[in-house]
Amino acid sequence: MRHEQMEVWQRSKQLSVAVYRELGGLRDFGFKDQITRSALSIPSNIAEGFERFTEREKFRFVSIAKGSCGEFATQTLIGIEVGYIPEDVGQQWRSEAMALSRMLGSLLKILASPSGASR
């Protein structure tokens, strides 16, 4: 299966686009760089993993994407608290990040199973 066909990749790409659009004018470049990188890391690592040759590499990159979900959710919470991200937007992002994390967790279980190696 191509990564572009996966719901988790499509949704994580849309989240990344939303973050870039929402924070385009933010002048705290350190914060903006960090949160956009963590959001961008999710679909990028899924794509990289599914372009690799071995199941071990695929698992590793999907695992990194899952970690980036937690990083992004944390940064979003901080962004809300310091006033960079509107509460309603931030809570929607956090909810989506946690949904993506659960989806990636399920994918990792499939990849780790003996029958997952053939996918």
Give the gyration radius of the chain's Cα atoms. Answer: 15
Q: State the average pLDDT over residues 49-67.
A: 95
Count CB neighbours of 34 within 10 A: 16
All domains in the chain, ordered by first residue: 3-118 (1.20.1440.60)
- Give the model's pLDDT for residue 116: 59
Per residue in 74-101, pLDDT (tens digit) is 999 999 999 999 999 999 999 999 999 9
CA angle, corner 86, sides to 84 and 87, nearest 5?
120
Helix runs in 23-114, H state only: 29-51, 55-82, 87-112
Confidence check: pLDDT of 115 > 50: yes
Confidence (pTM): 0.92
Q: State the average pLDDT over residues 101-105.
A: 98
Check if the beta carbon of residue 90 is closer than 8 Å to that of residue 32: no
